A = this chain, B = another copy of it.
């Protein structure tokens, strides 16, 4: 990627979340949207969280995508420190299958929003697509790439199921 400020901060609570969040990275790459992947643990590196979230706007980020699991506080706490749009991805947890992650991210009190996507891989893909939608509002070229991406997705759906061989 270029030297320019990245558009998307793609943050996650730990290395283990990367297995999920790399799907967001892949889609951002396909749509040619610059991003910076970062590990920021709300609990183990709270200072890093504060520093990142308070400075994200000044650094030029336009959207934050945040993935976390269990008592997932990263998206909500980031949103508490910035007015940038924050999109949350509940990472599937071991015991509770991501239901704890989902509740911890989506049930924000009125006043601090986190746009929450589905649990796991689908949510990571969709966080990238929603970020693209947002950026497309002021970027016609991206809007066209997104529209083409969506059209290609539509075209890829077969008319009838086939038995696996």
A residues whose Cβ falls under 8 Å from a Cβ of B: 12-15, 17-19, 21-23, 36-39, 41-46, 48, 50, 62, 69-71, 73, 76-77, 79-81, 83-87, 92-100, 102-122, 124-127, 129-130, 133-138, 143, 146-147, 150, 153-154, 157-164
27 intermolecular pairs with C-beta atoms under 8 Å apart: A15-B158, A39-B158, A39-B159, A41-B157, A43-B76, A70-B108, A70-B122, A71-B109, A71-B118, A83-B146, A85-B134, A85-B137, A86-B133, A87-B115, A96-B98, A96-B107, A96-B119, A100-B103, A103-B104, A104-B107, A106-B106, A111-B125, A111-B150, A113-B127, A113-B133, A115-B116, A134-B137
Q: Is A122 a contact of B103 with CB atoms below 8 Å?
A: no
Q: Which residues of B contact A39 (CB under 8 A)?
A: 157-161
Q: Which residues of B contact A71 (CB under 8 A)?
A: 76, 103-109, 118
Closest to A108 in B: B71
Closest 4 CB pairs of A and B: A115-B115, A113-B126, A18-B161, A110-B125
